[in-house]
Structure 1
Amino acid sequence: MLDNRSLSRMWDYADPRVSEGRLRAARDAAAAAEEPVERDELTTQVARALGLQGEYASAEAELAAISSDVPVVQVRVLLERGRIANSSSDRAGAVRRLLEAARLAREHGLTYLLVDALHMLAIADPAYSGLWTDQGIEIAQRADEQTQVWMIALSNNRGWDFFDAGDFAMARQYFEQAEQWADRMGTRRQQQLAREALAECDAAIRAAEPARDVRDY
C-alpha cells in the first residue's frame, strides 16, 4: 500500500502535467517490482493528474483498466471517479461515488482516505459542506500523523465557510487552528496560506467594527 507522505511528494497540484510524469514513472517502477497494489494505486493518481488537466476521458480510461478487488484500490478508484464527476458538473454522480468511497474506507479502516472522501463531499455537496468538514475534522484530529495533515485544509475550509457567512470570530478560530497545524506539520506554502487567511480575517474584523464618534474623546 502506498505511503501517503511519499505520494504527497510526487504531487505538485499547481502543475498536474509534471505530477503526471512523476506518477507514471513511479507506476512503472512498481510494476517492475511486481507490486500490483501499489501499481494500481498509482494508476488512480495518474487518472487524477489527467483529470486536473481536463482530460476526463483519458482519466476514466486509466481507472477502467483497474480490476483490483483490494479495498484500498477500490476506495481510490471511487475517489477519483467522484473527483472527475464533480469537475464535470455531475454533482449527484460525485456525491454517490464519494459516499461509497467513505463507506468502504470506514469499513476497512482506511482513515486517511475516509477523510479525503469527506473533504471531497464538502466540495461536491455544498448544502451540507459544514457537516462533512466537521466530520472530517473530528476524525482527523484523533487519527495517525499522516491523517492529521488533513487538519490544515479542513480547518482552513471551515474557516472560509464562516468567513463567507460573515461570522468572522468563528472564522478566525478555524484559521488559527489551520495555522497551528500548518506550523506543526505543513509545507511552507500551507503556512503562508494560513497566515494570509488570518490577515484577511483580521482586516474584515477591523472593517466591521463600528466607527468611533469623535465625541467619545
Structure 2
Amino acid sequence: MSNFDTLWDYNHPEETEQKFLRLQKQAEDSGNIGYLAELLTQIARSQGLQAKYELAHETLDRAESLLNKDLIVARIRYFLERGRVFNSSSRPLDAIPQFLHAWELGIQFGEDDYAVDAAHMLGIAEVTSEKRMEWNMKALEYAEKHPKASRWLGSLYNNIGWAKVENGNLEEALELFKRALDFRMEQGNSNSVFVAKWCVAKVLRLIGQVEESFAIQKELLAETKQTTNPDGYVLEEIAECFLLLNRNEEAKQYFSLCYDRLIHDDYLVSNNPERIARIKEIAGK
C-alpha cells in the first residue's frame, strides 16, 4: 500500500482530497483496517481545510467505526483530525479534549511526532494566552528532546513567536522568528522559508527597524511576482512600511492592492474585520 501522507498538498486541499478518494477503494479492498482508518482521517482533514465541516465529521464517523484498541496510530490520528475540524469550525472547547486524547496516547505509546502535533494544536486551541503558551512550551521541550518530532521545531518557534508578539515581547519574538527562519532554511522548503522571512520582517517593522523590514518585504514581493500574483500579506506590510516612512501616496496604492487580495481571504475577513476595514479606509475604497 502506498504512503498516502506523501500526497499532501496543504495549499490545495481539494486536489489532495481527490487523490485520497482515489486510494479509498484500494484501501477498502485491501482489508487493512488500520490503513483505511488513517486514510479516512486525512480525507477528513482535507475536507476540513475546505470548510466542508459536516462532511469531514461524517468521514471521521466512519473512521471511528473502524477503530479498536490495537490501532494506536489510527486512534491518535482520529483524535487529531476530529479536534482540527472542531477547531477550524470555531468550536475550540470541543476540540481541546480531542487533542488531549491524542497527546496522552502519543506519549503513552512513544508516537512522538503525533504527540507534538497534539500539543501544538492545544497551543492554538486553548482559550487563554497563558494556556496556549504553556502547551507551546511543552511541545517545544518535547520536540527538542525527541528527534522523531524535530520537524515541528519550525512551527513551534513560529507559534511561540506570535504569542510573544501578542504579549508585547517583540525582541523575544524576533529571536524566535530568526530561529524559525534558520530551521526552515535547513529544511529547504521554499514556501516555509518565505513565510519565515515575512515573520522576521513584520516584527522588525513593529520594533521600529522599518528600512530593514521594507528591504525584506520588497525581496519577497519580487519572489511572488516571479511565480504567481503578488502576496496580499506582503503588499500589506509594504504599505505599512510606506506609511511609517511618510510616503503616504505609495502607502495608499499598496493598501489598495492588498485590499483587492485580502478581501477574498475568508479567514481574515471573518476573524479580523477591523483590520480589513482599516485597510479599506486607508486605501480609499
| 2:11 is aligned with 1:14 | yes
1:56 corresponds, among 39, 53, 56, to 53
1:35 corresponds, among 22, 29, 32, to 32
Q: Distance in 1 between matches of 2:160 and 2:168?
A: 13
Q: TM-score w.r.t. structure 1 length? A: 0.86
| 2:145 is aligned with 1:142 | yes
Q: What one-letter code is carried by the residue in structure 2 that aligns with 1:68?
A: L
3-state secondary structure, aligned to 2:208: helix
**Bigger relative contact order, structure 1 or 2 (CA pairs below 8 A, ≥6 apart):** 1
Structure 1 ranges of 4+ moved more than 6 A: none
Identity %: 29
Q: TM-score w.r.t. structure 2 length? A: 0.66
Gaps of 5+ in 1: 209-217
2:162 corresponds, among 160, 163, 167, to 160
Q: Distance in 2 between matches of 1:161 and 1:136?
A: 14
Q: CA deviation at 1:59?
A: 1.1
Gaps of 5+ in 2: 211-285
Q: Look up the match of 1:199.
A: 201
> For the structure 1 residues 184 and 2, does the alpha-carbon distance in structure 2 shift closer, same or farther, using more than 3 Å as the test?
farther
Contact 2:37-2:67 within 8 A present in 1 as well: yes
Q: CA deviation at 1:27?
A: 3.6
> For the structure 1 residues 60 and 11, does the alpha-carbon distance in structure 2 shift closer, same or farther, using more than 3 Å as the test?
same
Q: Distance in 2 between matches of 1:32 and 1:187?
A: 35
Q: Look up the match of 1:89.
A: 90
Structure 1 residues 170-185: aligned runs within 5 Å: 170-185=172-187
Contact 1:111-1:143 within 8 A present in 2 as well: yes
3-state secondary structure, aligned to 2:168: coil
Answer with 1 or 2: which has the greater Rg.
Answer: 2
> For the structure 1 residues 27 and 187, does the alpha-carbon distance in structure 2 shift closer, same or farther, using more than 3 Å as the test?
farther
Q: Distance in 2 between matches of 1:202 and 1:57?
A: 41
3-state secondary structure, aligned to 1:141: helix
> For the structure 1 residues 24 and 157, does the alpha-carbon distance in structure 2 shift closer, same or farther, using more than 3 Å as the test?
same
Contact 1:149-1:186 within 8 A present in 2 as well: no
